[in-house]
A and B are shown apart, each in its own frame.
Chain A
Amino acid sequence: DAGITQSPRYKITETGRQVTLMCHQTWSHSYMFWYRQDLGHGLRLIYYSAAADITDKGEVPDGYVVSRSKTENFPLTLESATRSQTSVYFCASSVFWTNEQFFGPGTRLTVL
């Protein structure tokens, strides 16, 4: 399917486990972003990528790792999940960083 997809849509894990959230886009957009949405905070940028093999930290990067070996994929890994990482995670992509961003449907992650 064309567009931007995220998997899984829902995930429950335990404290200390490693979790990887997947993001895939079919537009060949250069830029990709990971956000988390929490009540009272809106959307906060975790990491972003300007192109394959180029990534940079956002506002709340601690506890997260990203990679971008291919333009279309931008996985987000929680190396050792904590309860404070319970959130809804959104991936987004754009042609350039000044263009509108297109968001995926989100992944709801619960860390017990």
Chain B
Amino acid sequence: DQQVKQNSPSLSVQEGRISILNCDYTNSMFDYFLWYKKYPAEGPTFLISISSIKDKNEDGRFTVFLNKSAKHLSLHIVPSQPGDSAVYFCAALTGTASKLTFGTGTRLQVTL
């Protein structure tokens, strides 16, 4: 049972445009969400997070939006750069369980 879903396995965006990566979850107990970025042959690195008490968190070119009623979050990258080409994982955790639940990932390719 996939509690965190990233339904788009891949996304291609032109440099300078907006990239929107989506994530849906089913467990209403999730109250903290994170995005990780992964380059080939490297471990994932933390990108940005959001608590369930917020609906938006921004860090430079990266903004995460949370819609709790729809159990949906999205990561916006503006403007997209070639160095953003990577696999992006959405992850979630609850206030009681000591573990992250990851989505399956979305491969973003930013083209020139």
A binds B: yes
CB within 8 Å of A: which B40-94 residues = 41-46, 49, 89, 91, 93
The digit string for A97-111, where 1 denotes a CB below 8 A from any CB of B, is 110111111100000
| Chain A residue total in the interface (Cβ 8 A) | 26
B98 contact from A31, A43, A104, A105, Cβ within 8 A: A31
Contact B34–A100 (Cβ < 8 Å): yes
For the complex, give the distance between the alpha carbons of A98 and B44 in Å. 17
Contact A106–B41 (Cβ < 8 Å): yes
Contact B99–A43 (Cβ < 8 Å): no
Q: How far is the CB of A80 from chain B (nearest CB, A)?
A: 26
Query: What are 22 A-B pairs at a CB distance below 8 A?
Result: A41-B104, A42-B4, A42-B89, A43-B44, A43-B91, A43-B102, A44-B102, A45-B99, A45-B100, A50-B98, A59-B99, A90-B43, A92-B43, A97-B93, A97-B98, A97-B99, A100-B34, A102-B46, A103-B36, A103-B44, A106-B41, A106-B43
Q: A97-B99, A105-B41 are in contact. List 15 more A-B contacts (CB 8 A).
A: A35-B102, A42-B4, A42-B89, A42-B103, A43-B91, A90-B43, A90-B44, A92-B43, A100-B34, A100-B46, A101-B100, A103-B44, A104-B43, A106-B42, A106-B43
Q: Which residue of A lies closest to B9 (CB)?
A: A40
For the complex, give the distance between the alpha carbons of A109 and B93 in Å. 28
Q: Which residues of A contact B6 (CB under 8 A)?
A: 42
Q: Which residues of B contact A41 (CB under 8 A)?
A: 104
Contact A105–B46 (Cβ < 8 Å): no
Provided the pairs A42-B102, A42-B103, A48-B98 are in contact, do residues A105 and B42 lie with their beta carbons within 8 angstroms? yes
